[in-house]
Amino acid sequence: MQRVGFVNDLVKLRLPRWLLALLIVGLVAGGGYVAYSRMEAAKRQETRRRMQTATVERLNLPVTIASNGVVQPERSINLSPKTSGILKQLLVKEGDRVQENQILAYMDDSNLQGQLTQAEGQVANAQANLQRALAGNRSQDIAQAQARVIDAEAALRQAEQNFRQNQQLLTDGAINRRDFNNSLADRDRAIAQVTEAKQALSLQRAGSRPEDIAQARAQLTTSEGQLQTIQAQINDTIIRAPFSGVMTRKYADPGAFVTPTTAGSSVSSATSSSILALASRNQVVAKVAESNIPQIKLGQRVTIEADAYPGKPFEGQVTQIAAQSTVEQNVTNFEVKMSVTDPQNLLRAGMNTDVEFNAGTLSNALVIPTVAIVRQEQGTGVLIAGSREEGRRSEFRPIQTGVTVNDKTVVRSGLKEGEKVMLSFPQGERPAGRTPSLMPGMGPRRG
């Protein structure tokens, strides 16, 4: 508006037309030059802004190995009874945490209770027989045997007296031979009865024979074994937790008829014969590349992040490194198992995780930003920033790289501390391709 007013003032001065036209052209040309200058200055500022550089520096870098893992229980089994039967009572439900030896369910044991009573009676009878054998005979039994001996001796004396009398009568001819023979038989019978009574008394005094005691012991052992068998069968009707963990599935309700199953070691192969599925505390299982296995040690600290809880790290330790590798799509990996600290019980079996193994620290390492690394026909390298004041353009310099940590890559050779490398490129100098150069098997740490 000021320029238009100035032209109107010139017209009011009644200048010659040619001079007036010349002045107007000059004003227009000057304004265009100013605008052009401002545009060029803006372009130069934009170019300088886009031509970002970074300084080669020395840092202490924590080295980590990245891998993918899955949350799995350390142990997982299906619980079923040892013998077929009816599920009587179920004491837990899915999601409950249980302790080792905790009672989870009861099977019907009514048929076994009668057998238990019978077995207990047999044990009591065998114990009584053994005690009698060990204690020997009672004093009353011994006294009774002594009385039998005395009675037999008295009968013998009477028979002996009759025999002698009949012997004299036979000599005198007073009795016949038959009566004499009868008295002789009575005497011999009395002698035998005395001998028998004395032997019975001796047995009563001697007590039980060792063979009788051994037989009584054997009968007691047999009875006790039968009782233990019945008790074990009753105990088997009580389903207990073999280890502490979480109940993950329920397969049967009270009243259901269940049978033993051979699929008790795998939750995925559960059958209708199972009652419950139990899983122990969780662990993380990851597959680590063959080249990284030498850097994995038992007890090594790991950082675990589940996809379900982004930004919430879990701490853990390496507990097992597989002795046998697995090959998938021509890639050799080793399975590594890790314990995980999860006091809030957030992790669930089957969750995907990112695992970072803390492999140590690189001290005083010469590093550059990974994005500065480019690849050209000359090889892998960086562009060294030039100087417009010195008329020097940027130049490509080959380098040897090492491990990459986060957004930094270690430089083994080709650069010195303090040099400037380009992160962006001027017009006409952008390389055909750019690629980070990583140590084989060492993936970049996820930020």
Q: What angle do CA 398, 387, 402 make, to 5 degrees?
A: 25
- Say which CATH number the domain at 83 has: 2.40.50
Are 402 and 410 a contacting pair, CB within 8 Å? yes
217 and 122, same structural domain?
yes
213 and 183, same structural domain?
yes
**pLDDT at 230 (0 to 100):** 93
Q: Is residue 322 a part of any domain in this protein?
A: yes
Q: Which H or E element spans position 249?
A: strand 245-250
Helix (H, G, I), strand (E, B) or coil at 207: coil
How confident is the model over 237-275, as pLDDT tens digits? 999 999 999 998 899 999 999 888 654 444 444 445 789
Q: Is residue 219 a part of any domain in this protein?
A: yes
Distances (CA, A) of 226 to 22, 47, 222, 278: 131, 97, 6, 33
Report the alpha-carbon distance of residue 201 to residue 193 in Å, rounded.
Answer: 12
217 and 314, same structural domain?
no
User: Could you give the number of structural domains in the chain?
Assistant: 5
Q: Is residue 436 a part of any domain in this protein?
A: no
223 and 122, same structural domain?
yes
How confident is the model over 96-107, as pLDDT tens digits? 999 999 999 999
144 and 193, same structural domain?
yes
267 and 303, same structural domain?
no
Report the alpha-carbon distance of residue 118 to residue 430 in Å, rounded.
Answer: 96
Report the alpha-carbon distance of residue 149 to residue 308 in Å, rounded.
Answer: 99
Q: Is residue 97 a part of any domain in this protein?
A: yes
371 and 300, same structural domain?
no
Q: Is residue 443 a part of any domain in this protein?
A: no
Q: Is residue 441 a part of any domain in this protein?
A: no
**Residue for token digits 């030896």?**
101
The whole-number average pLDDT for the span 80-84 is: 89
Which of 79-93, 122-136, 301-315 is the least confident region? 122-136
**pLDDT at 165 (0 to 100):** 86
How confident is the model over 298-341, as pLDDT tens digits? 999 999 999 999 999 999 999 999 999 999 888 899 999 999 99
Report the alpha-carbon distance of residue 41 to residue 312 in Å, rounded.
Answer: 48
Q: Is residue 371 a part of any domain in this protein?
A: yes
325 and 401, same structural domain?
no
Report the alpha-carbon distance of residue 444 to residue 402 in Å, rounded.
Answer: 11
Are 76 and 280 a contacting pair, CB within 8 Å? yes
Average pLDDT in the chain: 80
Question: Domain range holding 338?
Answer: 66-73+280-361
**pLDDT at 438 (0 to 100):** 39
Q: Is residue 447 a part of any domain in this protein?
A: no
Structure confidence at residue 28 as a pLDDT band (50, 70, 90): low
256 and 350, same structural domain?
no
The whole-number average pLDDT for the span 90-118 is: 92
- Say which CATH number the domain at 209 has: 1.20.120
290 and 330, same structural domain?
yes
How confident is the model over 145-158, as pLDDT tens digits? 778 888 888 888 88
Report the alpha-carbon distance of residue 97 to residue 265 in Å, rounded.
Answer: 19
